[in-house]
Amino acid sequence: MSDVLDFSYDALPVRVVFRPGAAVSATPGEVERLGRRRVLVVCGTRGSDTARAVADALGPACVGVHDRARMHVPVEVADVAVQAARAAGADGCVAVGGGSSIGLGKAIALRTGLPLIAVPSTYSGSEMTPVWGLTEHGAKRTGRDPKVLPRSVVYDPELTLSLPVPLSVTSGINALAHAVEALYAPDTSPLVALMAEEGVRAMARALPAVAEDPTSSAARARALYGAWLCGSCLGATTMGLHHKLCHVLGGSFGLPHAETHTVVLPYVLAHNAPTAPDAAAAVARALDAADAPTALWQLAGRLGAPRSLAELGLAEADLAAAAAQTAGSAYANPRPVTADGVLAVLRAAYEGAAPAPDAR
């Protein structure tokens, strides 16, 4: 960080409860604190057992379980959920699950103004942000609105015990990406930098332990702690090229969210590192490594994560279109974004070799 301190920082009004078993033991209390009596629980089909356990714990304060969440929140899925909330006369919403379920809860909050409580079951970090996303006509739109920021987040490491190792790894690296981009964001600040470095450290140490023993409550808790910090960084700052690129690849080319983040991150950091040396140094410190992009690439490989966009199903013929779309709109990034620069990053990520020094 530079010697001249010059920053602004908005503390976001989210209450966080972090405790094993909290999904069932703490969610009813959080609903009551907000004075809600008729909440709708939203989830995906795969997470509906946990969501039903939360709904049971809520008893008469729950007016239904809506289990239709889908990746990237298609607008028609959001429409149906908003109708379900209105038809049930809901006065609040509890989203149980990964970023897709929380995203659907945010879509309801955006359209209805209902307060949202998030009970995350992955490490995506969405629960700590006022960022919403909706996919329509093959393109993902995102925006910020204080209405969608969960009023309360219930972190229960036990919920993540069922998250398969491959999903745990990619979801965890998705969280790392938030911290990495927060370190070079135009609105970063000393507090964000502390959270980001500690978030990277905690997650990078936890993921190998989760992979080695997915039933370890201690490893799961460390990973969720990392997710909280990384998600807080995402909520506090403006993301750059990495997130834009992943949105394009997910929204317009149908690539899976967390896996795409996992593949792309080392190459974007390699691309941005010359213009963001302090950020790259902080990531390297947290990873206890000499070179941050290489260490991120090695971490993903060691944990068996996908390492190339080709593996994720992107067609080589789509690289130029993805690069043009990514470079076609303005957003903050430490290194000026050009179609050629993005194409070089995409080509390297498509091939999946170690991030080359000449990419920098």
In the chain, the N- to C-terminal Cα span, in Å, equals: 21
Closest approach of ligand NAD to the CB of residue 100, in Å: 3
| Out of 27, 152, 160, 325, the residue judged to bind ligand NAD by CB under 6 A | 160
Residue 235 CB, nearest distance to ligand NAD (Å)?
Answer: 7
| Site membership for ligand NAD, residue 240 (CB under 6 A) | no
Among 171, 232, 294, 333, which residue interacts with ligand NAD (rule: CB under 6 A)? 171
Stretch that binds ligand NAD, among 17-25, 156-164, 271-279, 345-353 (CB under 6 A): 156-164
Residues 249-268 interacting with ligand NAD (rule: CB under 6 A)? 257-258
Site stretch for ligand NAD (CB under 6 A), options 3-11, 154-162, 291-299, 301-309:
154-162
C-beta nearest to ligand NAD: residue: 99
Q: How far apart are CA 39 and CA 353, in angstroms?
A: 48
**Among 237, 239, 289, which Cα is nearest to 265's?**
239
Query: What x/- string results for residues 173 through 192 when contact with ligand NAD is judged by CB under 6 A?
Result: -x------------------
Question: Which of 69, 101, 99, 105 shows the shortest CA–CA distance to 85?
Answer: 105
Q: Give the residue with the Cβ less far from ligand NAD, 114 or 116.
A: 116
- Give the C-alpha separation, 16 to 1, whole Å: 28
Three-state DSSP string of 98-141: CHHHHHHHHHHHHHHCCCEEEEECCCCCHHHCCEEEEEECCEEE
Minimum distance from residue 298 beta carbon to ligand NAD (Å): 22
According to CB under 6 A, which residues from 56 to 75 bind ligand NAD?
Answer: 71-72
Indicate the residue among 27 and 124 with the shorter CB distance to ligand NAD: 124
Sheet holding 39-42, edge to edge: 15-18, 152-155, 116-120, 92-97, 39-42, 62-66
* Nearest in space to 250 (alpha carbons), one of 82, 89, 122, 133: 133
Closer by beta carbon to ligand NAD, 210 or else 342: 210
Number of residues in contact with ligand NAD under rule CB under 6 A: 29
121 φ, ψ (degrees, to nearest 5): -120, 5
Is position 90 an interface residue for ligand NAD (rule: CB under 6 A)? no
CA dist., res. 308 & res. 349, Å (int): 5
| Cα dihedral across residues 133, 254, 243, 129: positive or negative | positive
* Least Cβ distance, residue 239 to ligand NAD (angstroms): 9
Q: Nearest 5°: CA angle at 130, between 125 and 136?
A: 90
CB of 181 to ligand NAD, least distance (A): 12
CB 163 to ligand NAD: min, Å? 4
Per CB under 6 A, the list member of 47, 199, 341, 355 interacting with ligand NAD is: 47
The 98-137 contact track toward ligand NAD, x by CB under 6 A, reads: xxxx-x-----------------xx-xxx--x-x-x----
Question: Is position 306 an interface residue for ligand NAD (rule: CB under 6 A)?
Answer: no
Query: Could you tell me which residues come within 8 angstroms of residue 307 by beta carbon, excluding any fewer than 6 positions away?
Result: 262, 263, 297, 300, 301, 352
The span from the CA of 81 to the CA of 43, in Å, is 11
Please name every residue paired with 66 in a beta bridge, in sequence order, or none if there are none: 42
User: Per the structure block, which two tokens stand in for 313?
Assistant: 């199903």
Sign of CA dihedral 153, 158, 163, 168: positive
Q: Which is nearer to ligand NAD, 133 or 352 (CB)?
A: 133
How far is the C-alpha of 107 from the C-alpha of 147, rounded, in Å?
A: 10
Residue number, 101 or 272, with CB nearest to ligand NAD: 101
Least Å distance, CB 149 to ligand NAD, is 10
**Which residues of the shown chain bind ligand NAD in the complex (CB under 6 A)?**
44, 46-47, 71-72, 97-101, 103, 121-122, 124-126, 129, 131, 133, 159-160, 162-163, 167, 171, 174, 234, 257-258
